[in-house]
Structure 1
Amino acid sequence: MLIALTGLLSPAEVGAIRDAAGKLEFGDGRATAGRRARAVKANDQALPSPARDAILEKARRALLAHPVFQAAARPEKLTPLLLSRYRVGQTYGLHVDDALMQGLRTDLSFTLFLSDPATYDGGALEIEDNYAPREIRLNAGDLILYPSTTLHRVTPVTRGERLAIVGWAQSFIRGQEQREVLFDLDQSIATLEQEGAQRVLLDRLSRARSNLLRLWAGA
């Protein structure tokens, strides 16, 4: 299940982050890659600093406060976020994310786009599925959430610069299919509440959701 969160950050927030990122020092992105991914990774990552940490904390708080992210990911913990930069010629070849990062199981990956797609060419997040790869280039301030089990890559940047924040979530609900069932229940309950559905129906659906959470949490 791929989910796009539009407008996670406002244009003003994105602009402030880009301005702050322009003053940061970047290093070789391979330093944070796993053994196999290191061979295909060619990008830059912001080095630790108070300014970088402030940027990442702003993104983390916005993400955790977003109701759709909470419903889709059921996040237990997040890995430390990374601020990545791709300049002309840089890319991240086909890979699967490490199953364990910073002592956490990676169930879900996410990319928060910070560059206006009109300002760069290439740099698409390309995710493999059963039919054909999906190329994703979202507006600045939008985020894509996807299973960490997928093969994916960032296509080479051929013009401009691509700036993004990436991270991973360990979910309370380990199974992807179970997360999807709970997400559908959440969305259905929310729609029925807006339509003024009978209280008894909402109570039964809410009970089913809570009992499924009890059954699947930590599984």
Structure 2
Amino acid sequence: MIVIDKILSTEEVNAYRNVLADAPWGDGANTAMGMAASVKNNNQADANNDSVRQLANQLLARIGETPKLVSAALPHKIFPPCFNRYNEAQAYGFHVDAAVMRIPNTAEVIRSDISMTTFLSEPEEYEGGELIISTEFGQQSIKLPAGYAVVYPSSSLHKVNAVTNGQRVAAITWMQSMITDVSMRQNLYQLDQSIQNLIKENKTSRTEMDNLHNVYHNLIRKFAQL
């Protein structure tokens, strides 16, 4: 579970919310599959609306431009981002994201390895609405500033607590990683972050940095599934 700081700026968040305020919304349960539909109570922006599709494409591009996110997910395929809204008393009970998803209006499918929630509402704008993720260390409660995102394994049992006051707006998407093994993906992320920190410190010889890059990319070459 990794937090991505400010994947969207304050100005971008405001622009997204202005567009979404005028967008058509529907029952979020209509987009859920299997048992998840029975515990999903929210609204989802119409993905076929031109303005909503444009926002999704902008966020999709931003994912590829965010080094920390690319390092954490090593994405191979990305589901077009969706936008959801929780009003008072709405919630999404414990569920696991579908393992295989079909990209809308295409015949292409992706395996959901990684889920990402990008918060578009400030924490003080609503009460409740925490993203709860079950991990090996217990349940983690996530409620981030607008423009921040969290990525976590799609295999995790998770839920969104009921909003008791205000409104919670967020974007969600799923990624198929080039690296299917969760432990290897975590190790590669830690290795890459260490390499980036060493580059910033500029205290390590070029030879040693080349050796570390060699190890990193050879591990990806060995374990990537494309």
Q: Which residue of 1 aligns with 2:148?
A: 142
Q: How many Å separate the matches in 1 of 2:87 and 2:119? A: 14
Q: How many Å separate the matches in 1 of 2:112 and 2:171? A: 16
Q: Which residue of 1 aligns with 2:180?
A: 174
- TM superposition shift of 1:171: 0.5
Q: How many Å separate the matches in 1 of 2:62 and 2:38? A: 32
Aligned: 1:209 with 2:216: yes
Q: How many Å separate the matches in 2 of 1:12 and 1:214? A: 39
Answer yes or no: is the 8 Å Cα contact 2:132–2:139 preserved in 1: yes
Aligned: 1:114 with 2:113: no
How many pairs were matched up?
218
Describe the SS at the equivalent of 1:88.
coil
- TM superposition shift of 1:55: 1.3
Q: Which residue of 1 aligns with 2:27?
A: 28
Describe the SS at the equivalent of 2:8.
coil
Q: How many Å separate the matches in 1 of 2:197 and 2:141? A: 30
Aligned: 1:57 with 2:57: yes
Q: In structure 1, list runs of 5 or more residues that go unmatched.
A: none
Deviations 1:118-147 (A, max 9, x none): 010011100012342111000000000000
Describe the SS at the equivalent of 1:39.
helix
Q: Which residue of 2 aligns with 1:14?
A: 13
Q: Please identify runs of 4+ aligned residues in structure 1 that moved more than 2 A.
A: none
Aligned: 1:95 with 2:101: no
Counterpart of 2:206 (choices 196, 199, 203) is 199
Q: Which residue of 1 aligns with 2:225?
A: 218
- TM superposition shift of 1:153: 0.1
Q: How many Å separate the matches in 1 of 2:124 and 2:205? A: 47
Q: Which residue of 1 aligns with 2:168?
A: 162
TM-score w.r.t. the length of structure 2 is: 0.94
Q: How many Å separate the matches in 1 of 2:56 and 2:217? A: 32
TM-score w.r.t. the length of structure 1 is: 0.97
Describe the SS at the equivalent of 2:80.
coil
Q: In structure 2, list runs of 5 or more residues that go unmatched.
A: 103-108
Q: How many Å separate the matches in 2 of 1:56 and 1:181? A: 30
Describe the SS at the equivalent of 2:94.
strand
Q: How many Å separate the matches in 2 of 1:4 and 1:108? A: 13
2:148 maps to amino acid:
D
Describe the SS at the equivalent of 1:76.
strand
Answer yes or no: is the 8 Å Cα contact 2:92–2:162 preserved in 1: yes
Describe the SS at the equivalent of 1:134.
strand
- TM superposition shift of 1:175: 0.7
Aligned: 1:104 with 2:104: no
Deviations 1:21-45 (A, max 9, x none): 1001100101111111001000000
Q: How many Å separate the matches in 2 of 1:117 and 1:138? A: 6
